[in-house]
Amino acid sequence: MQLNTANGHITIESLSISPTLSIPDVESLGGIYGIKKGFQNKQYVSYLIPEIANGEVALLLLFFNSKLASVSIELGKKYNYPPFKITADERRVIAYKLEQIGGANIYGWGKVNIVEDSKGGTISIVVKYNQ
């Protein structure tokens, strides 16, 4: 997994996600990556890539007014952590993956940080793009 800190472009194996990714682009990748449409609510629509990099990560792509707003990078099924609970090991793995892509930072195109939902029991790296 790589993040181009100059432009916000994310590469995971052969999958390429740029801030200019469109909804039709995502839908055309559906058969390749098993992409599933998540929720749709007025201006928001999300897509889930349940598994990439041999179960290493899962991605949630969130669009606002048809523009890519954020990419949430979560640990994939390879890790098999308990649902609805964030473990210390899970925090450690997420922090390590964040450091691999340059750490939490604010850039001209957006920002990268860890987001933790203690009620939902999830932790992820979020790449948020300026709109």
Q: For the chain of 131 residues, list the mean pLDDT of each consecutive stretch of 10.
A: 96 94 90 89 94 93 97 94 91 96 96 94 96 81
The pTM (predicted TM-score) of the whole model is: 0.93
Q: What angle do CA 120, 124, 125 make, to 5 degrees?
A: 150
pLDDT score for 94:
97
Phi-psi category of residue 99: left, alpha or beta, with phi > 0 → left and psi -120 to 50 → alpha: alpha
SS3 content of the chain, % helix, strand, coil (to 5): 20, 45, 35
Instruction: Take residue 76 and report the two structure tokens written for it.
Output: 């994939």
pLDDT score for 131:
81
pLDDT score for 30:
76
pLDDT score for 49:
94
The Cα 15–Cα 85 span in angstroms is 29
